[in-house]
Structure 1
Amino acid sequence: MSDERFSPENATFDEIRGLFRALPPADLESGTAAVSRETQLTKPSGSLGRLEELTRWLAAWQGKYPPTVEHPRICVFAANHGVTAKGVSAYPAEVTAQMVQNFISGGAAVNQLAQLFDADLRVYEMALDQPTADFTEEAAMETGDCAKAMAYGMMGVEPGIDLLCLGEMGIGNSTSAAAICHALYGGTAEDWTGPGTGVTGDAFSAKVKAVADGVALHKARTEDPLELFAAVGGLELAAIAGAVLAARMARVPVLLDGYACTAAAAVLHAADPRSIEHCQVAHCSAEPGHRLLLEKIGKEPILDLGMRLGEGSGAALAIGILKSAVACHTGMATFADAGVSGPA
């Protein structure tokens, strides 16, 4: 997104809302071209299962045929959360900055996957020394700060990329994700709260209480998804949501990572269900709330491997699935080319 209106310095929720009115639709012609070729390839119809669906999805949202996965980008947004003061995580807040340095030095899981699948990895630090406020006591962010964080995330979508993988790093963000989902979809705080980094016992009880207290405090803001986002969200989650919107405007398909990442996208879905049609959820996290969230937004994960690492690792891993889908679709011979008899 190069539009100056959405620079981090002057973005507003009104401008963000304007994007919902300008969402480009899928390119049905490109999607149809993918379906047409699938029927001619040397295999029984539908025998590649979901790979066929993913190829069609890529073509429709890239707005071109054939689709490509030659220039994927992984964006990992990192920020800190004031709610960690309530003892909701097994790790201290300084781990966020330490892990950012690990990403930079190439030592994290996502680094290995990015290298394996020839993806461009970008890590964005978001004021790590200025965590959001504790949302059990006040709004996590002012609305202007949330809008600016969304605009900052938009900057990760640049010309030339053909797939955007989104992830996060932020101690405390599974608490924020649980609060977002509890506020959007109801139920109890226990329904949406999981172990995150591995909390148990009293720490887990504190986490559940923080989610319940935060949602109760900001109940008046739950009617507006963006206002809710500012109340209980996080800077990195807002950046993810902004990147999703920017990718839509630029016709770049998106792979969402786990629970926190999907919770950020769920805010957009609550504002306008069309806004995440160009997104696939890369994997189902071991966080129990993620599976419930996927049901709410109508998304089927590509992978289900019991992962709960975050940092875009599941989205990075799914790049390989999409590369495989495109390779089969574009490289396989047709019945005519191979001299193979088609179905009777």
Structure 2
Amino acid sequence: MMEFTALSQIASLADTLPVADSAAREAALARQNSLTKPPGSLGRLEELAIFMAGWRATARPVIKKAQAVVFAGNHGICAQGVNPYPQEVTKQMVANFEHGGASINQLCRANGAALSVVALDLDTPTADFTQGPAMTEAETLEAMTRGAAAVDPTADVLILGEMGIGNSTIAAALASALFGATPAEWVGPGTGSDAEGIARKIAAIEAGLARHGGLSAMETLAALGGREQAAICGAVLAARAAHIPVILDGFICTAAAAVLYAADPRLLDHCLVGHASAEPGHRRLLAAIGQKPVLEFDMRLGEGSGAALALGILRAALEVHNGMATFGEAGVSDK
């Protein structure tokens, strides 16, 4: 299990963690070009199969085990009135996940993923970042380690999601701090904030940015983030260590992982983004980290729902990659 002992050491992990297997990628590309179709005619499906080949280090990857993890946390920034729902909803939704009643349960079942939920000290919200750092370094590292511990090293792909009342404000704060633009350009309705609620979000983030400027990416995570964001970072790194590709969910999940991108862009090389969220900041964030979403379905639920849906596309890409006949096998002329 990966353990994290200092935020200052995270960026340097990019120099030591595994990279994609170039030989497997080349072999997968050669196979794609030998299948009974015009080269490139399946577009993104071909790209996804080659991506999986590189990270699973085999020319013909399969998904025998797909793991989905939803991390849940509560946030001190809710003291600023940024949340239209009470924080008790976080714990209630965790119970709903555990009893199989949420959207993510159905999407995981439909697309063949085993779901687990990790509740992170829900009775102890992080601190209000307008008054001080949301987390200490020790709290951030503990949450990252718990995120890493949740990863099954035998999985072929990892889906990540989150739950936490107030965490759309956290995501916008992290994005603004790490990638610039004003808070108003990142903030959206989240779970249903009206115009006054959005104004409170913007004011809270402006206060947080004024208080916590000039920090490194990982220090920014501690200052403005939450336990579920830190856990997502830990899970992403643990998956990388095990050669497991990751499918990130929407704006909140992507903003959490984008902390690692800001620390060193190579740390997200093994990650896909499952969908483009309807939350307005997500497209701006995708552009900032150079990601193209697998799907665009106007979803903004969170929970890992868009990532779980994208798993079905990834499975389809591999079925085509592994199951189609080559020109030689089918007796079809390729010239």
| TM-score interval for Structure 1 and Structure 2 normalised by the shorter chain | over 0.9
Alignment counterpart, residue 228 of structure 2, candidates 212, 229, 236 = 236
Aligned counterparts of 1:274 and 1:77: Cα–Cα separation in 2:
23
- Deviation of 1:82 after TM superposition, in Å, equals 0.7
Asked whether the 8 Å contact 1:141–1:230 carries over to 2, the reply is yes
Q: Which residue of 1 aligns with 2:103?
A: 109
AA partner of residue 304 (structure 2): G
Structure 1 runs of 4+ off > 6 angstroms?
none
Correspondence 1:214 to 2:213: no
Asked whether the 8 Å contact 1:16–1:147 carries over to 2, the reply is no
> Structure 2 regions of 5+ residues with no counterpart?
none
AA partner of residue 57 (structure 2): G
- Deviation of 1:12 after TM superposition, in Å, equals 2.9
Q: Which residue of 1 aligns with 2:63?
A: 69
Aligned counterparts of 1:131 and 1:140: Cα–Cα separation in 2:
9
CA shift digits 1:227-279 (9 cap, x unpaired): 11000000000000111111111100000000111111111011111000100
AA partner of residue 17 (structure 2): L
Q: Which residue of 2 aligns with 1:38?
A: 32
Q: Which residue of 1 aligns with 2:325?
A: 333
Q: Which residue of 1 aligns with 2:20?
A: 26
Matched position secondary structure for 1:168: strand
Q: How big is the alpha-carbon RMSD for the aligned residues of Structure 1 and Structure 2?
A: 1.1
Aligned counterparts of 1:171 and 1:13: Cα–Cα separation in 2:
26
Q: Which residue of 2 aligns with 1:294?
A: 286
Alignment counterpart, residue 258 of structure 1, candidates 231, 250, 260 = 250
Correspondence 1:180 to 2:146: no
TM-score under structure 1 normalisation?
A: 0.95
Q: Which residue of 1 aligns with 2:269?
A: 277
Matched position secondary structure for 1:328: helix
Q: Which residue of 2 aligns with 1:195?
A: 189
AA partner of residue 41 (structure 2): S
Q: Which residue of 2 aligns with 1:245?
A: 237
Q: Which residue of 2 aligns with 1:317?
A: 309
Correspondence 1:135 to 2:129: yes
Matched position secondary structure for 1:77: strand
AA partner of residue 77 (structure 1): F
Correspondence 1:52 to 2:46: yes
Asked whether the 8 Å contact 1:247–1:253 carries over to 2, the reply is yes
Q: Which residue of 2 aligns with 1:227?
A: 219
Aligned counterparts of 2:149 and 2:290: Cα–Cα separation in 1:
28
AA partner of residue 37 (structure 1): R
Asked whether the 8 Å contact 2:153–2:239 carries over to 1, the reply is no
Identity %, equivalent residues: 53
Asked whether the 8 Å contact 2:127–2:133 carries over to 1, the reply is yes
Aligned counterparts of 1:100 and 1:12: Cα–Cα separation in 2:
30
- Deviation of 1:18 after TM superposition, in Å, equals 4.8
Asked whether the 8 Å contact 1:13–1:144 carries over to 2, the reply is no
Aligned counterparts of 2:192 and 2:8: Cα–Cα separation in 1:
38
- Deviation of 1:188 after TM superposition, in Å, equals 0.8
Asked whether the 8 Å contact 1:141–1:231 carries over to 2, the reply is yes
> Aligned pairs, how many?
335
Aligned counterparts of 1:297 and 1:17: Cα–Cα separation in 2:
16
AA partner of residue 132 (structure 1): T
Aligned counterparts of 1:96 and 1:178: Cα–Cα separation in 2:
19
